[in-house]
A and B are shown apart, each in its own frame.
Chain A
Amino acid sequence: MALLEVKDLEKRFGGLKAISGLSFSVEKGIIFSIIGPNGAGKTTLFNLLTNIYAPSSGAIFFKGKEITKLPPFKIARLGISRTFQNLQVFLNMSVIENVMVGCHLRSKSGLLASALRLPSVIKEEKMVRQMAYEALEFCGLPQYASRPAGGLPYGILKKLEVARSLASRPELLLMDEPAAGLNDTETAELCQLIKRICDSGVTVLLVEHNMSLVMEISQKVLVLNYGKLLAEGSPEEIQKNPEVIAAYLGEG
């Protein structure tokens, strides 16, 4: 059974079909990349998967269960997490607090218990802080823990989003253009990070423009063009596919 299954997904914005007739599945434990020219519908797809947009038709299944109409926070509770193309870091908190929010699903103190600071709360705080710190270490950011997030460089914030998502121990991590805006060194670090994430058992679904990154780390690549599936296969197969080449470089 595939981890994620998309069936006949369609999204219309008025008369424009952003996504049409899209079907694919993602096996557990791999790095699956989605590429395509600008405007192909990649971020729209992510927004559909996390129900930030509701699909016009079609269905999405996670571990066999339909998630098409679930609100985003319920989707997160099933084990899917996501980073964003336009950073959605909590700039009003410190780095470690950002990641501690990622641990929200792994803790349970409520408002009243927190106000009274019951012993269970104190114990949980210690545990959450430890889990957050481990996530920061995994992403190479422990030295920034107590720094306020606002004011940190872009590259660090991109890693912070990853650490935050990882802290929730997702089964599937959606990464929306993680390499955007990164220089070569940062991209190489990202490459290693994604491999480490996959090795730790998390399935990664990636949307990217950076071809060399995609080709290096992916087990499977899907090409979107004008919201439709153009090709699907291993990196080598995709690189040789004449339709793909035409789509990127233009016809004739």
Chain B
Amino acid sequence: MKRLSGFVLFSAICLILPLLFPDNYYVTVVGLTIFINIILAVSLNLLMGYAGQISLGHAAFFGLGAYSSAILTIKYGLNPWIAMLTGAAFVAGLSYVLSRPILKLKGHYLAMATLGLGIIVHIFFVQADELTGGPDGISGLPSLSIMGMAIDSDLKWYWVLCSCMLLSVLFSLNIADSRAGRALSAVHGSEIAAQMMGIDTAMVKSHIFVFSALMASFAGSLFAHQQDFVSPESFSFFFSIELVTMVVLGGLGSTFGAVIGAFILSILPEVLIVFEDFEVLIFGAILMVIMIFLPEGLFVALKNKVAAFVAKRQEEGVDGPS
């Protein structure tokens, strides 16, 4: 299928890597972080890039999924998969209830409300120490098992997270090219015109908010089991901002843009560690430089350059070599 040719190539690369480099730290350890970040970035992109709704609080849903899994498995002894689904149901309900009033806001005010949401949830993680373990978090989650086989090695986690990541990318690509995706883009393009085409814009915004929150929640649960540990630090406002940066860096509105953005922002700190004290400075500089010279995002800029190149070649082909 031509539509998914990029996706097939991408999947092939992801699936081959651990076979070629089974002991490579970057593949087996950093790869896990990258996969989680991709799921988060792709889900945020559906909300921000397609529907055009800014969210500075996405880490909250990630954290709620993670803490739900941790608390329900350790304190209440639930089966990890049941705990994950319960957490997801809770996040779905919460995000739905919040979506209606929050999504009535626009622009910076919406950003503010989502920021507030993220910070309130984070503070709850830190303060409600009876339940959440406070700043020290919770550790010792039981392992996740699939059909009796426990996922207890980096390699096994690689396969699990890779599959989940590929699934979320596929979902996003499917949505983009569908009636639902066009409705999202229409809401972004002109809410009034979207309404005149019969789209219930409030409902569309609400649904995608819940959908992206759900994806984050599942990512959170997987993250909790993989790390064997949850603490508030991973779900702060800073991480929400990092997620927004990933989406914009790669190219807002593009699924693969979110993938590239997540990849770069996950790998950059690892790469920059060699610069020691200069790490933060250089990281900031790279961000600025990329956005100044490629404001439409890395992946989108690349795609446009390739498309322009192909169009030019076609033109020359028609006219014949001069």
Contact = CB atoms under 8 A, between A and B. Distances in A.
Given A88-B190, A89-B190, A111 B185 contact: no
Interface stretch (B81-89, B173-181, B284-292, B314-322): B173-181
Interface in A161-217: 161, 164-165, 168
B189 A93 contact: yes
Contacts of B195: 71-73, 76
Interface in B165-191: 171, 174-175, 177-183, 185-186, 188-190
A93 B178 contact: no
Interface in B218-268: 253
B178 A109 contact: yes
Contacts of B181: 114
Contacts of A71: 195, 200
A82 B196 contact: yes
Given A90-B190, A128-B179, 13 more contacts: A72-B196, A88-B196, A89-B193, A90-B186, A92-B189, A97-B182, A100-B179, A111-B208, A114-B180, A121-B174, A121-B178, A164-B193, A168-B198
Enumerate the 5 nearest inter-chain pairs by beta-carbon distance, A residue then B residue, closest first: A90-B189, A114-B178, A88-B193, A76-B198, A72-B195
6 contacts: A97-B185, A100-B179, A101-B185, A111-B180, A115-B211, A116-B174
B178 A117 contact: yes
Contacts of B175: 111, 114-115
A105 to B, nearest CB: 4
B19 interface: no
Nearest to B207: A111
Contacts of B185: 90, 92-93, 97, 101
Interface in A92-143: 92-93, 97, 100-102, 104-105, 107-111, 113-117, 121, 124-125, 128
A68 interface: no
A91 interface: yes
Given A90-B193, A91-B189, A101-B186, A111 B198 contact: no
Contacts of B171: 115-116
B200 A73 contact: yes
A90 B183 CA distance: 11
Interface string B194-226: 111111110000011001000000000000000
Interface in A53-93: 71-73, 76-77, 81-82, 84, 88-93
Contacts of A104: 179, 182-183, 186, 197-199
A100 B200 contact: no
A18 B221 CA distance: 56
B192 interface: yes
A50 interface: yes
B11 to A, nearest CB: 15
Most central of B182, B199, B253 by chain A CB within 10 Å: B182
A211 to B, nearest CB: 27
A100 B198 CA distance: 12
A226 B193 CA distance: 27
Binding site secondary structure of chain A: helix
A52 interface: yes
B288 to A, nearest CB: 25
A104 B178 CA distance: 10
B253 A114 contact: no
B192 A72 contact: yes
A102 B189 contact: no
Contacts of A115: 171, 174-175, 180, 211
A7 to B, nearest CB: 23
Contacts of A113: 180
Contacts of B177: 125
B188 A101 contact: no
Contacts of B174: 114-117, 121
A74 to B, nearest CB: 8
A52 B189 contact: no
Given A52-B192, A89-B190, A105 B178 contact: no
Nearest to B182: A101
A105 B200 CA distance: 11
Contacts of A111: 175, 180, 207-208, 211
Nearest to B181: A114
Contacts of A128: 179
Contacts of A107: 179
Contacts of A76: 195-198
Contacts of B201: 73
A93 B188 CA distance: 10
Contact of B192 (A81, A88, A91): A88
A88 B197 CA distance: 11
Q: Which of A52, A71, A101 has the most CB of B within 10 A?
A: A101
B215 to A, nearest CB: 10
Given A111-B207, A117-B174, A168-B198, A84 B179 contact: no
A73 B195 CA distance: 5
Contacts of B190: 88-90
Contacts of A97: 182, 185
Interface in B138-189: 171, 174-175, 177-183, 185-186, 188-189
Nearest to A110: B180
